[in-house]
Amino acid sequence: MSHLARTFRLAIIIVALAALDGGMALAQINTEQVMNIGRNALYFEDYILSIQYFNQVIQQKPYLPEPYFYRAVAKISLDDYSGAETDASKCIEINPFIKDAYRVRAVARHNTHKYEEAIGDYRTCLQMHPEDPDIMLNMAMCELALKNYNTADSCLTWCLRRDSTSERACLGMAQLCLNRQDSIGALKYVSKCIDSHKNNPQAYLARCEIFANHLKDYNKALEDIDEAIKLEPSNVNYYINRSYLRYQVNDIRGTMADLDYAIAIDPNNVTAHYNRALLRSEVGDYNKAVEDYDFVIEHDPENYPAFYNRTMMLINIGHYKQGISGLNAMLEKDKDDFVALYQRAMLYIETRQYQSALRDLNTILSKYPKFESGYMLRAQIKQRLGDKRGYEKDLETAVTVMKSKGVHYSSFNPVDIEREHSNEIHQKHARQHYDKQEQEAQRQREMMEGNLEESVEEVKKRFGQLLVVDVNNELKPEVNLESDGLYDEKAGHRRYRNKTRGYIQDNNVDVQPQSVFTLSYYSYDNKLNGRTHFMKEMTQVNELHVLTSALTLVCGTPSLSEYEARARFNSVDYFNGLIATSDVRAIDYFGRAMDFFLLKNVDAAIADADRAINANSDFALAYFLRFNARMVKLQLDEAEAPASGDIEGQTMLARRAREVALNEMASDLRNVVTLSPRNTYAYYNLAYVQAMMGDNEGAIASYSRAIELKPDLGEAYFNRSLIFLQLGDKEKGTADLSKAGELGILPSYNILKRMTR
C-alpha cells in the first residue's frame, strides 16, 4: 500500500457528552449516575474503565440503547471493530433514531473491510446529516476500495466544493488520480494539500512517492522526504527510503549515513541491513558487508541474493572454508551451477582437500573433455596423492589437447562459457525470492483491503509469531514520559503511564493465558469490573468458622507479605496441636494443607490434602486444593534447569513426570466436577490443564462449559480465544478477545490489534 493510501484513512470519531438525538431518558438515578461516570471516563480516554460502567448499566437495563452506543465508541477507540459493530447494531435495533450509532457502525464496518455495508450506513448518516464532509470522505474511501472511481470522484468533488483546502479530500483525490494513472493530477492535489497543511508528513511522503516512482525526479523527491523526516525524525522507514533516493543521485556518503542511522533506530531492520551490505560491498568493505549479510540470513534464511552475495564476499576475503559451505548450499539448490562447482574445486585445492577437489574436477572434465588446464590441475592433485600413473596420464592428455588445438599454453576456461548460464541460475533464484516476497506483500495488501481472507495456516503463523517475544524490541510506549497523558505525535494520540488508560491496545504484551483459579485467604478484586469469585463449597466451609481465616478464590498464584506469612506459620502450629490432641477431621487436614500451600510447602500441602480426601472422599474443596498444590509443584519442578550429564535422559524423565502430573491434576478436577457439576472454576482449571496436555478440543469444551455457567468470566473467553487462534480460527478467536476485553481482561486489546491489523 502506498504512503498516499495509508494517509487517506478514517477520521477519528469524537463523541460529545450531550444527550443523543432520539435518546430516551434514563429512569433510575443510580443508572443515570453510572452512565454519566462512564461518559466522563470515555471523555478522559479511560476506555477500559468506561466499558465496565456501561456493562453495569446494560446488566441492569439491557433495553436502553445509550450504553450500547457508548460502549461501541470505547471499543472503536481500542481497535475492537467487530465488538463495536455488534454494540452499534444493538443500539440501532433498540432505537433506530440514534443518528451517531450509524456513524459508529459505519466506521467499524469500514475498518473490517465491509465496504458495501459501511457505505449503506454512511448513506443513512448523510440522510440525517446531509452536509457532513467527514461522512462523505469516509464513503469516498469505501468507493475507492471497491474501485468505484466515478462515485468516489463525485464524493471527493462534493467535499472540495465545500472546502477546497480539505486535507483528506485533496489526498483522496490524489489517490484517485494515481489509480487512474494520472500522476500529474495526483501531484497537483498533493501539492495543494501541502500548501494548506505544511505539517502533514504523509502529504510530503505522498509527493515524494510521485516524484520518485512516477516522474523519476529524485532531487525533488529528496526535498520532500527531508521535510517528512523533520516532522517525524524517529521513523526508520523514512531514512531507508531517503538512502535509496540519495543513492540514485550518487550520494554514497549520505546513503551510508541514512542506513547507519536507520539501524541505530531499529537494530532488527532486515531491509536496512541488506541495503547496507550491498553498499559496503560496493565500496570494498567486505568484512562489514559479511556481518550485515549474516544478520539478514539469520532473520530471513530463504534470502538467496543475500546468501549468494555473502558467499562471494567470504571467498574474496579469504574465508575459504565458509565459502565452501556457501557453495555447497548453492549446489544443493541447483546442481547445474557450473561456476559454483568450479569455484569449489579451486577452493578445495587451496585448502588441500584433494579428494574433494578431484571429485569436482572429474565432473568438470566429463562435461568439458577439451579443458587442458583441468587435466593439468588434476594431474597436480594426483601427484600430491601419490597417483603417479594418473599424474602421467593427465599430463599426456593435456599435451594431446593442446596439440590438437595448435597452442603451446592453456587458454581455454569453460567458466567463460558457463558464466552467463550461471548468472541466469542466480537471477532465477533471486527472482523466485523477490516474487515470493511480492506475493506475500500482495497478500498482505489484499487482506488489509478486505479482498482476501487469511487462511487457517496464516492465522496460525501470525499467532505463532506473537508467541515469540523479543524483549529487546518490545514496544514500551510509556517509558520516559515526564507526565501522564503526554501527546505522542507519531502515534497520533496521548500516551499514559497508567496501563488501563488511553490506547492500551498499543502496549505490547506477552501472549500468555490467564492463570488458573486458586484457593487463598487473601483476595483481591478486579478494579475494572469490581468482580470477586465465589464457589458454593467455599462459602459452606467459611460458614462453619473452623478455619483460621476465610477462604477466597483468586486467579493466579497468591504471594504473602511478611505479616501474612507469620499468620500462616501460627495457623500451622494451631492445626498441629489440634491434630495431635483431638479426633482427626478432614477439615483440620484441609486447613493445615491451605497454610502449607500458601507458604509454598507444596509437598506437605499435597500430603495433607491426601489425608483430608482419605478422611472424606466427598470433600470437593480438598481435591481443588490438591490440584492447586500440584500445579505449583509442577511449575517449581520445571523451573529447575536440568543438571549436567545425560541431558537427553533427564529431558525424557521430565517429560514423563509432566504427563503424570497433568493427569493427576486433571483427575482431581474431574472429581470436583463429579461432586459439584456446576463448579465453574473446576471446568475453567480443567480446560487450562487440558490445553497444557495438548487436548485443544477438550479445553475448548471445558472453557465453553465454564462460560455457560458464568457468562461474565472474562478469563475463560481470553484463554479460549488463544486456543482458537492457535488452531487458525480467527473469527472465533477475535470474537472471544473482544468479549474478554469487554469483561476487563486488558491484554485482549493488544492481541486483537496485532491479529487484525
At residue 72, the pLDDT reads 92
Nearest one of 43, 162, 144, 22 to 94, comparing CA atoms = 22
Q: What DSSP line would sit under 360-400, residue for residue?
A: HHHHHHHH-TT-HHHHHHHHHHHHHTT-HHHHHHHHHHHHH
Three cell numbers at 154?
463525485
Torsional class of 27: left (φ above 0), alpha (ψ -120 to 50), beta (otherwise): alpha
- Grid coordinates belonging to 593: 494443607
Measured CA distances, 633 to 454, 623, 636 (Å) = 40, 15, 5
DSSP-based three-state secondary structure for 493: strand
Q: Torsion angle of alpha carbons 135, 136, 142, 143, nearest 10°?
A: 160
What is the three-class DSSP state of 494? strand
Query: What is the predicted pLDDT for the residue at 492?
Result: 47
**Cell matching residue 131:** 452536509
Residues 717, 739 contacting (CB under 8 angstroms): yes
What confidence tens digit (pLDDT) does each residue in 393-410 have? 988 998 888 888 877 777
Calculated CA dihedral for residues 129, 134, 139, 140, nearest 10 degrees: 130
Label residues 83-116 b or e (16+ Cβ within 10 Å = b).
bbbbbbbbbbebbeebebbbbbbbbbbbbbbbbe
The C-alpha atoms of residue 489 and residue 656 are separated, in whole angstroms, by 53
pLDDT in the model for residue 454: 62
Is the separation of the CB atoms in 459 and 726 below 8 Å?
A: no
| pLDDT mean values, one per 10 residues, the chain (757 residues) | 45 40 46 81 74 86 92 87 92 92 92 91 90 90 91 92 89 91 91 88 91 92 93 90 93 94 91 92 90 89 84 88 89 85 89 91 90 88 90 89 78 80 77 68 56 60 49 29 40 44 49 86 62 84 89 81 81 89 87 88 90 93 93 81 62 85 93 93 94 92 94 91 87 87 80 72
pLDDT at residue 450, rounded to an integer? 53
**Given this model, what pLDDT does residue 592 score?**
93
Q: What is the pLDDT of residue 154?
A: 92
CB atoms within 10 A of CB 610: 14
Read off the pLDDT of residues 180-209 as tens digits, 9 standing for 90 and up: 999 999 999 999 999 988 888 889 999 999
For 305, phi then psi, to 5°, come to -55, -40
In the block, which residue shows the cell 517509558? 479
Residue with cell 552475495: 309
pLDDT, position 513 = 86
466 close to 754: Cβ distance less than 8 angstroms = yes
What's the CA gap between 102 and 117, in Å, rounded?
11
Q: Name the residue type at position 749.
A: Y
Give the DSSP H/E element, type plus range, for residue 158: helix 149-162
Whole-number Å distance between alpha carbons of 506 and 501: 11
Question: In this predicted structure, what is the pLDDT of residue 6?
Answer: 44
Superfamily of domain 3-197 in the CATH hierarchy:
Tetratricopeptide repeat domain (1.25.40.10)
Q: Cα separation of 80 and 71, whole Å?
A: 11
Burial label for 480, CB within 10 Å (0-12, 13-18, 19+), is exposed
β partners of residue 494: 487
Specify the CATH number of the domain 517-710: 1.25.40.10
Is pTM beyond 0.75 here?
Answer: no
Same fold, 3-197 and 517-710: yes
Domain definitions of the chain by residue range: 3-197, 517-710
